[in-house]
């Protein structure tokens, strides 16, 4: 470079070296100089655009791909990557058009078919996505898009496909012949050992070479501990509905609370409330995992709390850099992350007993009562809609389940159909998730000799109105192997009893935890046979059901499940215990937080 500062090849090679050293910004500067000298070099532009994508500079990357396509109009790679940039900028139609164009050039491109299928899923067009994925598997049977296809099949309740996928999921996890998405496995399998191995394999695939930790040794010792919550869901989302009150109530004399957001800003009232709840809020959508990790290190965060795990839009790579001395999995993912860089998982004695520790890479922490935080400020609209306004008949028993459709599995649906048969005039009220699921569920209903009209689908509403319409339901029916989580606490908050069956793993035991914490343990059954029998009994005995409803309404104001202040004290004690162990040089270990109780004056006091 000293001898020939304008040598394009030297500039390009220097950029490659900088990329491999992890110095992406300097690499882009090199590419900029090279492109200025050779503006029509598609190869240079392609390399530059790839680094811009990696740095999440999507506008700049898009401009680069547009330039490439003026030089090489039918370049498959540029068309595919242009779609990725458009998608991250929210320009979904342009992303789809780019992939459609790529497939006209090369109809059998596995990469393009898989990318278009993933995009169609984001648009809720699951059936079209499955057509693309079937083409992918016909060309390349071992393609890693398997998890996405199995997820789409579950979302539309295509049980012929899901049964086939279930067999394959089990095989792939057992023989470790293919990477399966851990969140998908929660829908298909309730074996804790399989869930552990699946998560560990997924983490190794995502992060094959663990980076050097950014934090080593002692932590900063300030007057207040610094807690950072990381999520893509600080907007109108179930995570924010649950956590907003906690974020507002953290004891600011002992804690500084930071929000690290890598999700959309929807401009909603909830977004504004959550942002205001933090002492500092950082929108890091445009930053790489390493840059976010370095930000956490610069902020001297003591405890980094992951609210995503292996769910949609997670940024697990941030934690792989070990930016904080203590790293915690909480709320977003009901299972083990399988990552050795996550120290603790926050749970309770029902969802995750200590005897399950061997199936978790994290150390288990028990909060008293229920692990799930709830926000007492969740508003319920004053006006209750009529049954007719909800599409329900004025008479007859209303079973409801507002879970996402992917949680509805054939065994639980068989039970529901027998309930409709046993309880004359009853209906099953479900959430309208997508047209394909509705069509398939009605078909399955008819196949069992039940009038499909007895399934009623509810459109999505704003939360306050959605909670209000619960009042016209009689009994909320839970699902297995993946329970209602936020939807169960919504029902209880709105005054509707929830009937559940205790599952084998965290995802299938959440509703039981909620019911114990709200004082309705009798509604936790131990088998589907017991679940079915109790559902029929409650539907046929209005007095018994009324007893549970009255108890729920009496308990709600004081129940531990909805006592946000009490919960806040418990989780803060958990954080302080973690910090104490770290400061004493001890390795993380499982523990239980002693419960707080309220004195006659209403003050919280520690027990034990």
> Per residue in 324-336, pLDDT tens?
999 999 999 999 9
Name the CA radius of gyration of the chain, rounded.
26
212-240: string of b/e by CB count within 10 Å (b at 16+)?
ebebeeebeeeeebbbbbbbbbbbbbbbb
Distance CA 490, CA 463 (A): 9
At 286, is the pLDDT very low, low, confident or very high (cuts 50, 70, 90)? confident
Average pLDDT, the chain: 94
Residue 15 CB: number of other CB atoms within 10 A?
25
Residue 603: the pLDDT is: 62
Answer whether residue 114 shows pLDDT above 60. yes
Rounded distance between C-alpha atoms, residue 452 and residue 550, angstroms = 32
Asked if pLDDT for residue 263 goes beyond 90, the answer is yes
CA distances from 371 to 94, 242, 306, 493, 605 (A): 42, 11, 15, 16, 19
Q: Is the pLDDT of residue 607 over 60?
A: no
| β-strands 303-306, 498-501 pairing | unpaired
Beta-bridge partners for 428: 399, 455
Distance from CA of residue 379 to its chain's centroid? Answer: 23
Give yes or no for residue 282 having a pLDDT over 60: yes
With bands split at pLDDT 50, 70 and 90, how would you rate the model's confidence at 376? very high
58-81 mean pLDDT: 93
Are the C-beta atoms of residues 487 and 311 closer than 8 Å to each other? no
Q: How confident is the model over 557-565, as a mean pLDDT?
A: 95
**CB within 8 Å of 354: residues ≥ 6 apart:** 364, 366, 590
Say whether pLDDT at 381 is over 60: yes
What average pLDDT score do residues 86-115 get?
92
**Half-sphere exposure of 341 toward its Cβ, with a 13 Å CA cutoff?**
24
The residue that leads in pLDDT, 369 or 19, is 369
- The number of residues making up the chain comes to 608
Q: What is the pLDDT of residue 599?
A: 55
The 8-class DSSP code of residue 590 comes to -
Return the higher-pLDDT residue of 34 and 326: 326
Q: Rounded to 5 degrees, what angle do the CA atoms 412, 415, 416 make?
A: 90
Residue 140, pLDDT > 80, answer yes
Confidence category of residue 445, pLDDT binned at 50, 70, 90? very high
Percent of the chain with pLDDT over 70: 98
What is the structure's pLDDT at 600? 55
| % of the chain surpassing 90 pLDDT | 86
Query: Which pLDDT value is given to residue 419?
Result: 98
The answer to whether residue 399 scores a pLDDT higher than 60 is yes
Residue 601, pLDDT > 80, answer no
Band of the pLDDT at 88, cuts 50, 70, 90? confident
| Residue 222 confidence (pLDDT) | 83
Would you say residue 604 has pLDDT above 80? Answer: no
**How does pLDDT run across 184-226, given as a tens digit for each residue?**
999 999 999 999 999 999 999 999 998 999 999 899 888 899 9
Confidence category of residue 402, pLDDT binned at 50, 70, 90: very high
Q: What is the mean pLDDT of residues 141-165?
A: 91
**Residue 441's closest CA among 181, 158, 55, 73?**
158
Structural domains in the chain?
8-173 (1.25.40.10), 211-376+563-608 (3.40.50.11380), 388-561 (3.40.50.2000)
At 178 the pLDDT is 87
3-state SS, residue 546:
helix
- Grade residue 142 by pLDDT with cuts at 50, 70 and 90: confident
First CA to last CA distance, the chain: 70
Residue 598 confidence (pLDDT): 64
Q: Considering only 31-45, 248-262, 433-447, which range has the smallest mean pLDDT?
A: 31-45
pLDDT at 606: 61
Q: pTM for the complete prediction?
A: 0.90
Q: What is the mean pLDDT of residues 220-236?
A: 95
Give dist(CA 273, CA 497) in Å, integer.
30
pLDDT recorded at residue 21: 86
| CA distance readout (Å), 536 to 145, 481, 530, 546 | 42, 21, 10, 14
Other C-beta atoms lying within 10 Å of the C-beta of residue 53: 19
State the pLDDT confidence band at 424, using cuts at 50, 70 and 90. very high
For residue 406, what pLDDT is reported?
96
Kindly report, residue by residue over 42-61, the tens digit of the pLDDT. Answer: 999 989 998 898 888 999 99
What pLDDT is stored for residue 454 in this prediction? 98
Confidence of residue 362 (pLDDT cuts 50, 70, 90): very high
Residues in CB range of 228: below 8 A, 6 or more apart: 257, 258, 259, 260, 296, 299, 301, 303, 304, 305, 324
Average pLDDT over residues 383-391: 96
């Amino acid at each position: 470079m000293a001898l020939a500062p304008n040598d394009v090849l030297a500039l390009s090679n220097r950029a490659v070296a900088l990329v491999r050293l992890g110095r992406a910004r300097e690499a882009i500067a090199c590419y900029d100089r090279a492109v200025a000298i050779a503006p029509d070099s598609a190869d240079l532009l392609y390399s530059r655009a790839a680094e811009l994508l990696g740095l999440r500079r999507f506008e700049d990357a898009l401009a680069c791909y547009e330039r490439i396509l003026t030089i090489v109009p039918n370049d498959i790679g540029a068309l595919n990557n242009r779609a990725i940039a458009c998608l991250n900028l929210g320009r979904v139609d342009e992303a789809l058009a780019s992939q459609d164009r790529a497939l006209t050039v090369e109809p059998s491109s596995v990469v393009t078919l898989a990318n278009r299928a993933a995009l169609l899923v984001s648009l809720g067009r699951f059936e079209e996505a499955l057509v693309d994925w079937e083409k992918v598997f016909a060309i390349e049977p071992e393609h890693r898009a398997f998890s996405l296809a199995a997820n789409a099949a579950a979302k539309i309740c295509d049980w012929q496909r899901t049964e086939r996928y279930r067999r394959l999921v089990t095989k792939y996890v057992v023989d470790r012949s293919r990477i399966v998405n851990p969140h998908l496995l929660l829908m298909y399998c309730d074996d804790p050992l399989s869930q552990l191995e699946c998560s560990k394999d997924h983490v190794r695939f995502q992060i094959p070479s663990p980076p050097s930790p950014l934090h080593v040794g002692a932590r900063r010792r300030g007057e207040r501990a610094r807690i950072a919550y990381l999520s893509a869901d600080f907007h109108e989302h179930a995570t924010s509905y649950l956590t907003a009150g906690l974020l507002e109530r953290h004891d600011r004399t002992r804690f500084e609370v930071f929000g690290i957001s890598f999700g959309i800003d929807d401009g909603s009232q909830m977004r504004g409330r959550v942002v205001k709840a933090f002492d500092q809020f950082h929108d890091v959508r445009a930053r790489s995992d390493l840059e976010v990790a370095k930000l956490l290190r610069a902020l001297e965060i003591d405890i980094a709390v992951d609210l995503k795990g292996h769910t949609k839009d997670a940024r697990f790579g941030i934690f792989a850099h070990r930016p904080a001395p203590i790293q915690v999995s909480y709320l977003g993912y009901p299972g083990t992350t399988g990552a050795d860089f996550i120290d603790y998982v926050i749970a309770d004695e029902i969802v995750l007993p200590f005897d399950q520790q061997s199936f978790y890479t994290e150390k288990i922490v028990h909060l008293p009562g229920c692990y799930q935080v709830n926000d007492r400020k969740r508003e319920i609209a004053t006006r209750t809609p009529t049954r007719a306004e909800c599409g329900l008949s004025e008479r007859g028993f209303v079973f409801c389940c507002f879970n996402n459709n992917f949680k509805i599995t054939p065994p639980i649906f068989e039970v529901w159909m027998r309930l409709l048969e046993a309880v004359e005039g009853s209906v099953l009220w479900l959430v309208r998730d997508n047209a394909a699921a509705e069509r398939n569920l009605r078909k399955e209903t008819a196949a069992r000799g039940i009038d499909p009209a007895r399934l009623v689908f509810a459109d999505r509403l704003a939360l306050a109105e959605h909670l209000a319409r619960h009042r016209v339901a009689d009994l909320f029916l839970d699902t297995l192997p993946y329970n209602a989580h936020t939807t169960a606490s919504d029902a209880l908050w709105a005054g509707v009893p929830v009937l559940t069956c205790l599952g084998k793993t965290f995802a299938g035991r959440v509703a039981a935890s909620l019911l114990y914490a709200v004082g309705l343990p009798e509604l936790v059954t131990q088998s589907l046979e017991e679940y079915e029998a109790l559902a029929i009994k409650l539907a046929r005995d209005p007095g018994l059901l009324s007893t549970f409803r009255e108890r729920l309404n009496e308990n709600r104001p004081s129940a531990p499940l909805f006592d946000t202040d009490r919960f806040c004290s418990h989780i803060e004690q958990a954080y302080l215990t973690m910090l104490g162990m770290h400061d004493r040089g001890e390795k993380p270990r499982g523990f239980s937080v002693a419960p707080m109780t309220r004195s006659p004056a209403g003050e919280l006091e520690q027990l034990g």
